Amino acid sequence: MLVAGPGDLLHVNVDRAAGATFLRVPGYAGAVPDCRRGAPIDWDGESDLYVQKDESVCVAVLRDARVSWHARAASFGILVIGTQQASVP
C-alpha cells in the first residue's frame, strides 16, 4: 500500500521493467486495506492522483524493485498537512 485517502498521491518512482500496476482499493470500516482486491487504474505515476476518503492506492510489481513516492494529505480549511515521502526497497 502506498497511501490511504483522503489526499493526493503526487508521484511514484518505480523501475519500468518491474511491470508496476497501480490499484485503487476501497476501504472497509476499520479493516486494513487488502491490495489483492484492488482494481487496476490507468495512471502514469507522474501526475497528481486524488485518493478519496475510505480508499487506498497500492502498487504491485512483477519483480523486486525499489519504489518511492510523495503524497500530500488533503487540506482541511486553511490547514494543509505537509507533503509526505517514503521509499521501500
User: What are 5-41's pLDDT values in tens digits?
Assistant: 899 999 999 988 999 999 999 987 677 889 998 999 9
- Taking alpha carbons only, the member of 10, 21, 34, 23 closest to residue 63 is 21
Res 18: pLDDT: 92
User: What are 39-87's pLDDT values in tens digits?
Assistant: 999 998 999 999 998 899 999 999 999 999 999 887 654 444 455 555 5
SS3 content of the chain, % helix, strand, coil (to 5): 5, 50, 45
Cell, residue 50: 486524488
Res 25: pLDDT: 95
